[in-house]
Amino acid sequence: MEIMVYIAASLRSFTDRVPRIELSAKSVREALDVLTDRYPEAVKGFFDETGDLRHFISIYVNDRDIRSLKGIATKLSDGDELWLIPAIAGGAQKEGEEAPAKKPAGGSVISAERMKAVTIEEKQIERYSNHLQLKEISIKGQKRIMAGKVLIAGLGALGGVVAERLAAAGVGTIGLADFDEVKLPNLQTQTIHSTRDIDRPKASAARDRLKKLNPYVSSVLHQEKLTGDNIEEVVEAYDLVVDATDNFVSRYLVNDACVLHGIPEVFGAMYQFEGFVTVFAPGGPCYRCLYPAPPPVGIVPTCAAAGVMNALPAIIGGLMATEVLKLLSGSGEVLIGRAITLDAWNLQYHAVQTVKDSGCAVCSVHPVISTAMDIDYEDFCGLKENPEEEPIATIEPEELARRIAEEEPITIIDVREPHERAIRKFPGTIAIPIGQLARRQNELDPDTDTVFVCREGKRSILAIRTLREAGYEGPMFSLKGGLEAAAQIIFPNEGAWL
């Protein structure tokens, strides 16, 4: 059977950057075997140490999640499409049953009583005239939008687009949750912020922008870091939550709090040219249903490390804002039980069905998570040191710069992607992608210190662990903080941007 396999961008480092592969296979298992035979580095990326498919990868045959079929034993037909989509952030159902694509009870998350309590002023009639002319929204829908309370978690590229769209639409109260500050590299994709906002808190900068955009909208700042101790208190004050965060800790945290309080969540994620949008709501699957566990640290690069196209947030953020307006107004088909993936660069759009996991830790009939404080999210996402695991030695940027200047014997391995190395070359290094380290370990001298470098210092740790598992015993060090922390020290005359 001839099929086409589509590889998401964040997994292409294991397939020599190839985005789509035509091959012959009669089942999903056979297709994966052919794929890993052709690209041996994919074995570690796709499968865990027991040989099972990693939990952070979802596989779809055409638009069906294989978990709603027969898993990797699912049979394939000639012309089928196989999509490998990794994690980038109610009621019981029978195992494998698909979640219904339905709106919340009553069609809107805003009750009729709250809608009737809203008055549209004369100036607002003109301001919101575009919505009022749409029969799908009209006066009732706009009043529900104006009564709505929406929390936006993360005010980067996606969160900024959603915030501006919702403020312009007239959403009554917008919660702005972000504890970070605006930095210069943010401005290419995070257009809610401006040059004058550099070093300002993102939430404060966003509030000022929304106030200028629409004075009728109230903004509530949440500038503290969201944790298991405070997340539930924050989300329960809102009708729905927009997850525009950029890390797995926050995605699982926000998801769990929303499930525990029965609050719909509009979810979006981006990577380079690709985006993913869905809605998690009572009765449908949640984020844990799709991705029961996060990827090992370093396997899936962040947008900061891999980049994102400037125009993509506008597309994905616009889709997210649309789902919010549908949930508030009570009109339109909502992406519950469905998801949209988009490769903007290759103009490939795909809609897939998402399925509820009957054994989900938070939304199943017998959940093991009853409060967000039940989970150590950083430990769950592999960000804490395992006391039983041999610690990773690090080297400070100043020490590495000194050893280079004094020409001490040292081997430096650059595990960054080719496009990252093109932005800033690191002379005298050996470029070896993580997936090739095990089979190229003979290029290292076990009698010489080897330093691994990447952008943020996370992939270099994964590289060392990979070599340890492969049996390499030479001294290895991870550059602390990566080249982002070392730029001004190692490359003092070239600026801080990598």
Choose the catalytic residue: 303, 360, 363, 381. 303
Distance, CA of 466 to CA of 461 (rounded, Å): 9
What's the rounded Cα separation, in Å, for the pair 466 and 450? Answer: 14
pLDDT at 95 over 80: no
Mark whether 454 is an active-site residue: yes
| Model confidence band, residue 428 (pLDDT cutoffs 50, 70, 90) | confident
Greater model confidence, 100 or 138: 138
| pLDDT band, very low/low/confident/very high, at 307 (cuts 50, 70, 90) | confident
Is the pLDDT at 162 greater than 80? The verdict is yes
Q: Which has the minimum average pLDDT: 18-22, 201-205, 238-242, 259-263?
A: 18-22
At 96 the three-state DSSP class reads coil
**Long-range contact set of residues 348-352: C-beta below 8 Å, sequence gap at least 24:** 348/6, 350/6, 350/63, 350/83, 351/63, 352/60, 352/63, 352/64, 352/65, 352/83, 352/85
> Does residue 222 carry a pLDDT above 80?
yes
Residue 161 has pLDDT above 80, yes or no: yes
Q: Is the pLDDT of residue 372 over 80?
A: yes
pLDDT of residue 498 exceeding 50: no
Measured CA to CA, the distance from residue 11 to residue 23 in angstroms comes to: 18
- The whole-number average pLDDT for the span 343-350 is 88
User: Residue 131 pLDDT > 50, yes or no?
Assistant: yes
SS3 assignment for 150-204: EEEECCCHHHHHHHHHHHHHCCCEEEEECCCECCHHHHHCCCCCCHHHCCCEHHH
Q: What is the mean pLDDT of residues 122-149?
A: 94
Confidence of residue 306 (pLDDT cuts 50, 70, 90): low
What confidence tens digit (pLDDT) does each residue in 102-116 have? Answer: 455 458 999 999 999
Known catalytic residue: 258? no
Whole-model pTM over 0.85: no
**Which of the listed ranges 44-58, 75-89, 322-336, 457-471 does the model predict with the highest average pLDDT?**
322-336
Residue 422 pLDDT > 90, yes or no? no
Amino acid 384: pLDDT: 67
Tell me the pLDDT band of 136, cut-offs 50, 70 and 90.
very high
For 114, how many CA atoms within 13 A lie in the half-sphere containing its CB?
17
- The region of weakest confidence among 45-54, 180-189, 216-225, 279-288 is 45-54
Identify the pLDDT of residue 290.
Answer: 93
User: Any residues with CB less than 8 A from the CB of 244 and at least 6 apart, and which?
Assistant: 89, 152, 153, 154, 155, 156, 158, 159, 162, 268, 317, 320
Strands 430-431 and 411-414, sheet pairing: parallel
**3-class secondary-structure state, position 73:** helix
pLDDT for the residue 299? 66
How much is the pLDDT for 89?
40
Pairing of strands 476-479, 450-453: parallel
pLDDT band at 185 (very low <50, low <70, confident <90, very high): confident
Tell me what pLDDT residue 491 has. 66
Q: In this predicted model, which residue has the larger pLDDT, 337 or 99?
A: 337
Residue 101 predicted with pLDDT over 50: no
> For residues 100 and 212, which has the higher predicted lDDT (pLDDT)?
212
pLDDT at 199 over 70: yes
Structure tokens of 397?
């940027």
Place of tokens 């990566």: 482
pLDDT score of 304: 56
Integer Cα distance of 82 and 63 in angstroms: 9
Q: Confidence class of residue 496 from pLDDT cuts 50, 70 and 90?
A: very low
428-439 average pLDDT score: 86
The stretch 368-385 carries a mean pLDDT of: 80
pLDDT of residue 497: 37
Would you place residue 230 in the very low, low, confident or very high pLDDT band (cuts 50, 70, 90)?
very high
What average pLDDT does the chain have? Answer: 88
Percentage of the chain lying above the pLDDT 90 cut:
61
CA 327 and chain centroid, separation: 22
Q: Which of 258, 289, 363, 454 is catalytic?
A: 454
Domains of the chain, earliest start first:
2-86 (3.10.20.30), 112-380 (3.40.50.720), 394-490 (3.40.250.10)
* Long-range contacts of 191-199, Cβ-Cβ distance < 8 Å, separation of 24 or more: 191/160, 191/161, 191/313, 192/155, 192/159, 192/160, 192/161, 192/163, 192/164, 193/160
pLDDT of residue 126: 93
**Sign of the CA dihedral 84, 267, 306, 394?**
negative
Rounded Cα distance, 49 and 73, in Å: 20
Tokens of 64: 């069906």
**pLDDT band with cut points at 50, 70 and 90 for residue 97:** very low
